[in-house]
Amino acid sequence: MATWVLHYLLVAFLITITYSIDAASAGITRHYTFHIQLKNITRLCKTKTIVAVNGKFPGPKVTAREGDNLQIKVVNHVSNNISIHWHGIRQLRSAWADGPSYVTQCPIQTGQSYVYNFTIIGQRGTLWWHAHIQWMRATVYGPLIILPKLHQPYPFPKPYKQVPIIFGEWFNADPLAVIQQALQTGAGPNASDAHTFNGLPGPLYNCSTKDTYKLAVKPGKTYLLRLINAALDDELFFTIANHTLTVVEADASYVKPFQTNIVLLGPGQTTNVLLKTKPIHPNATFYMLARPYFTGQGTIDNTTVAGILKYHHKPTSNHFNSSKNLPVIKPSLPPINSTSYAANFTKMFRSLANSRFPANVPKTVDKKFFFAVGLGTNPCPKNQTCQGPTNTTKFAASINNVSFILPNTTSLLQSYFSGMSKKVFTTNFPSAPVFPFNYTGVPPNNTMVSRGTKVVVLKYNTTVELVLQGTSILGIEAHPIHLHGYNFYVVGQGFGNFDPTRDPKQYNLVDPVERNTINVPSGGWVAIRFLADNPGVWFMHCHIEIHLSWGLTMAWVVLDGDRPNQKLPPPPSDFPKC
């Protein structure tokens, strides 16, 4: 064969390989359609009508690979307005697809539709999607699974099977009526009636044995459990009797593997764990349990959801494949207020911080912020008796004593992009409390909060350090804080009041965990860092839904950079109108 022919074939081969690699790296476009519809469903012996997606509860699983483009058309067939948030997706230069109502968009009205169009860049793992208006995420939620790029392995043993398990809360009442009543009376909301695994409450609740989540496994196999806490208001402990779990990922970021018997997830958080089953059939079934972690003063749903882990029998001629007569092994969980376990568990998380998955934590900081997060009060309207901490006050929540008010005729992002923001928000959100106090000590006598629509403005590529400080006002409790549009590095945490001289010396700037939702410890603080490299308006809020409703939220406005690829493009043509 002539030399030039060999050369031609070699070049053609290399071009083909290069094209294949580029194509695999670039990803594909995946289309989904979400029909927002009413659905009748029975739980706890009560039938009710819920808002659901495509007639499913929980909603459909969205699956993609890193690098894929997702185009998800949401069609609203119900009387409620709706918007969907893709929790944890970076939304790089696609803020119009983030989803929180009146923050990045007006909600999708009855009979209208909107296509959420975004590309998954530099992310892989377990995330989720949920409604982001009022309390509609009580039933409108589902998993969002991002697989690695083609031919890229996991940094842990390849699992035999992958299983999403979504924790939820079930209300016999209408969740929208629950929050409306709470806001009207100023009281805490009525608690949910059950917790659920994949929408099922399980045998520890009345009339629910038939509605039990069951996970069938084979002996000697490794399963990847994708755990998602979609509960409205409860942080949850999770365990499987007589089995050890290996944590390998948090909020779609790989972590150094560590073993545990009990996992803790705040609302909004996800955790991937490896479950290695026993080498031979154990002749038993095992309870999977979840119940709350809580240190506050309010009323919560302190019940336990149970699922069942059962082993497949090898089929034999003289054995009927049934687990009905096998003993059920029950695990134990920490006390409901076990802050020590919560703190020790949280400290176990570390980024891989290797050449393939580096920890790009900012080593220097341009802007420092100190946010006090906690509860407070609003005055009761004249001629009304309220049911808050006193009969003259309503419960509220705030960051730096600012209780956030969402606009209701436009969105923050629309007003910013159109140059009309002065009519909608102000840019004077305080970088620290205006009146400092002993945050975790005896609370001040005046617990009233201010109210406003205030934001922080950041220049593009600003490096940020934010200390989130819990307070003791109306009780100490943890606050799972979620930042839209970004991941951040958790560089430090502790109990009591943050000491700006002593505590930064203990920061972990080598392999801090990377997350999108972090618990501010009960009676403590947490420090995070991030690079403001994503232009837009980004919500940051407590993912305990009642705290969000009470105003424990704020927003960051990240300005455009100088280059074309550092600017937010205009909204799509089908963008919802108010």
| CATH class, 156-313+326-351 region | mainly beta
pTM for the full predicted model: 0.94
Task: Confirm if 399 and 553 have CB atoms less than 8 A apart.
Answer: yes
The reported pLDDT for the residue numbered 325 is: 84
The reported pLDDT for the residue numbered 201 is: 98
Q: Where are the domains of the chain?
A: 28-151, 156-313+326-351, 367-566
The yes or no reply on domain 28-151 and CATH 2.60.40.420 is yes
* Contacts (Cβ under 8 Å, ≥6 apart) of 196: 43, 167, 168, 169, 170, 202, 213, 305
Q: How confident is the model at residue 298 (pLDDT cuts 50, 70, 90)?
A: confident
Mean pLDDT of 537-542: 98
* Contacts (Cβ under 8 Å, ≥6 apart) of 92: 119, 121, 534
Mean pLDDT of 326-352: 97
Question: Cis before residue 58, ω within 30 degrees of 0?
Answer: yes
The reported pLDDT for the residue numbered 315 is: 61
pLDDT, tens digit, for every residue of 3-34? 444 444 443 443 343 333 344 457 999 999 99
**Dist CA 428 CA 490 (whole Å):** 26
Residue 318 has pLDDT above 90, yes or no: no
**Dist CA 81 CA 79 (whole Å):** 7
Domains 28-151 and 367-566 are alike in CATH topology? yes
Enter the CATH code of domain 367-566: 2.60.40.420
pLDDT, tens digit, for every residue of 151-193? 999 999 999 999 999 999 999 999 999 999 999 999 999 999 9
CA–chain centroid gap for 408, Å, is 24
